[in-house]
């Protein structure tokens, strides 16, 4: 039951109580008036020797004091607890994580990718005095290096490398093939040449080109590897009929 309904019930009960009290007072007043009126027997008992000159004064009714209506306290029901709307819990935003600089540990982590700008020849190994890099129609070798962490120098093993060719001409330069040429005993082994780009009317863009790849050598021995480009037709270059221009220093490898 809500507050409004309870209040209406209490007001109605008090109204009924007041009405009952008023009716009781009226009934009580009528009983008093009836009691003071002389009856026929009373009149007969009065003396009859009253002189004629004296007029009997009729008895005036006794005026009762007004009834005092006392409103008795009623059993008032305790107010029902007011329903308090409970707000749904609000979601407290999580604190924003702040990046904290982690101090370096004592042991440095290994670098996943080695530096590839300038190949470092093996220690105590003389730099080979083979073909030297040159500018070929605006194309120059900017880097050529082995990826030693995944290279297997065994017959048929994968020899991973990466290179970058720059273009100094400022425009596209058509070429037939770019790849890696193996050299043994001072002679290019064209049969084992590894083509990386070519055979599709390729053009070197003005921004140059970077590429990782791998090759394999089937026989044991000491070799050198260098980055080359040929402009004399794709199949003609692969068959040894074209001129290969050197774009990088040679890297010596030993297949065992």
Q: How confident is the model at residue 60 (pLDDT cuts 50, 70, 90)?
A: low
CA distance 106 to 17: 94
Of 66, 67, 68, 76, nearest in space to 14 by CA: 76
Report the pLDDT value the prediction gives residue 223, as an integer from 0 to 100: 98
Report the pLDDT value the prediction gives residue 1, as an integer from 0 to 100: 57
Report the pLDDT value the prediction gives residue 246, as an integer from 0 to 100: 98
Q: How confident is the model at residue 230 (pLDDT cuts 50, 70, 90)?
A: very high
CA distance 113 to 217: 24
Tokens of 100: 């904290």
Q: 230: helix, coil or strand?
A: strand
Sequence-ordered list of residues with C-beta below 8 angstroms from that of 246, at least 6 positions apart, any chain: 131, 132, 133, 134, 141, 226, 227, 228
Contact 231, 242 (CB under 8 A): yes
Q: Name the residue with higher pLDDT: 29 or 115.
A: 29
Q: What is the largest CA-CA distance in the chain?
A: 184
Sequence-ordered list of residues with C-beta below 8 angstroms from that of 13, at least 6 positions apart, any chain: 74
pTM of the model: 0.51
Q: Domains of the chain, with CATH numbers?
A: 1-35+67-74 (no CATH), 139-255 (2.70.50.60)
- Surface-to-core class of residue 195, CB atoms within 10 Å of its CB (0-12 exposed, 13-18 middle, 19+ buried): middle
Tokens of 224: 């050198």
CA distance 189 to 215: 13
Q: pLDDT (tens digit, 9 = 90+) per residue, 86-137?
A: 555 555 555 454 444 544 444 444 444 444 444 545 545 555 578 999 999 9
Q: pLDDT (tens digit, 9 = 90+) per residue, 163-200?
A: 999 999 999 999 999 999 999 999 999 999 999 999 99
User: CA 188, 189, 190, 194 torsion: positive or negative?
Assistant: negative
Task: Tell me the average pLDDT across 200-217.
Answer: 96
Instruction: Return the minimum-mean-pLDDT range out of 10-14, 49-53, 151-155, 231-235.
Output: 49-53
């Amino acid at each position: 039951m809500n507050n409004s309904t309870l209040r209406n019930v209490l007001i109605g009960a008090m109204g009924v109580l007041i009405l009952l009290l008023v009716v009781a007072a009226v009934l009580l007043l009528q009983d008093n008036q009836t009691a003071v009126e002389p009856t026929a027997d009373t009149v007969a008992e009065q003396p009859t020797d009253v002189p004629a000159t004296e007029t009997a004064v009729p008895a005036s009714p006794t005026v009762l004091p007004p009834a005092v209506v006392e409103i008795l306290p009623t059993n008032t029901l305790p107010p029902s607890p007011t329903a308090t709307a409970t707000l749904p819990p609000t979601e407290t935003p999580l604190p924003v994580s702040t990046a904290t600089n982690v101090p370096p540990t004592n042991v440095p982590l290994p670098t996943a990718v080695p530096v590839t700008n300038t190949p470092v020849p093996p220690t105590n190994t003389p730099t080979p005095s083979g073909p030297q890099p040159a500018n070929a129609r605006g194309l120059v070798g900017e880097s050529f290096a082995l990826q030693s962490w995944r290279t297997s120098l065994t017959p048929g093993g994968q020899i991973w490398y990466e290179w970058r060719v720059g273009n100094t001409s400022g425009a596209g330069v058509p070429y037939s093939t770019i790849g890696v040429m193996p050299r043994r005993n001072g002679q290019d082994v064209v049969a084992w040449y590894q083509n990386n780009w070519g055979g599709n009317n390729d053009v070197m863009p003005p921004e140059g080109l970077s590429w990782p790849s791998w090759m394999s050598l089937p026989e044991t021995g000491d070799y050198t590897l260098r980055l080359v480009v040929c402009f004399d037709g794709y199949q003609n270059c692969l068959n040894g009929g074209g001129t290969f221009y050197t774009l990088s220093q040679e890297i010596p490898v030993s297949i065992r």
